[in-house]
């Protein structure tokens, strides 16, 4: 998820391999249905890696196992 610390810089949006990030009214938002925490493409969330203010953090309301994230990625990308 993206916290209210977001400065709306847009650095995160192009980094998402699932196009799960988009501009909201005041801050960027992540669609939890599309977010795979960058698994299996990367070993870490790319939005968090590029965020200059550490506003991209794990969402405590959407905890998923690595296997669930991999399956979601496959479903999103038709694999």
pLDDT tens sequence across 67-77:
999 999 999 99
Measured in degrees and rounded to the nearest 5, phi and psi for residue 66 equal -60, -40
Please indicate, yes or no, if residue 29 is contained in any of the structural domains.
yes
Q: Under DSSP, is residue 7 helix (H, G, I), strand (E, B) or coil? A: coil
Question: pLDDT tens digits for 21-69?
Answer: 999 999 999 999 999 999 999 999 999 999 999 999 999 998 999 999 9
> How far apart are the two ends of the chain, measured CA to CA in Å?
25
**CA–CA separation, 78 and 42 (whole Å):** 18
DSSP string, 30-77: E-TTT--TTTTT-SS-HHHHH-TT--B---TT----HHHHHHHHHHHT
Q: Per-residue pLDDT averaged across 6-11, rounded?
A: 97
Average pLDDT over residues 11-23: 97
Residue 59 lies in a domain: yes
Give domain status of residue 7, yes or no: no
CB neighbours (10 Å) of residue 59? 15
Q: Is residue 8 part of a domain?
A: no
Domain count, the chain: 1
pLDDT given for residue 51 in this prediction: 98
Q: How would residue 79 be classed by pLDDT, with cut points 50, 70 and 90?
A: confident
* Mean pLDDT to the nearest integer, 18-22: 97
Domain range for 61: 13-76
CATH, residue 68: 3.30.70.20
């Amino acid at each position: 998820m993206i916290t209210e610390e977001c400065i709306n810089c847009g650095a995160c949006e192009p980094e998402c391999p699932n196009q799960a990030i988009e501009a909201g009214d005041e801050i960027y938002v992540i669609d939890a249905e599309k977010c795979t925490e960058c698994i299996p493409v990367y070993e870490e969330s790319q939005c968090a890696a590029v965020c200059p203010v550490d506003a991209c953090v794990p969402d405590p309301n959407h905890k998923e196992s690595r296997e669930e994230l991999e399956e979601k990625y496959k479903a999103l990308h038709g694999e």
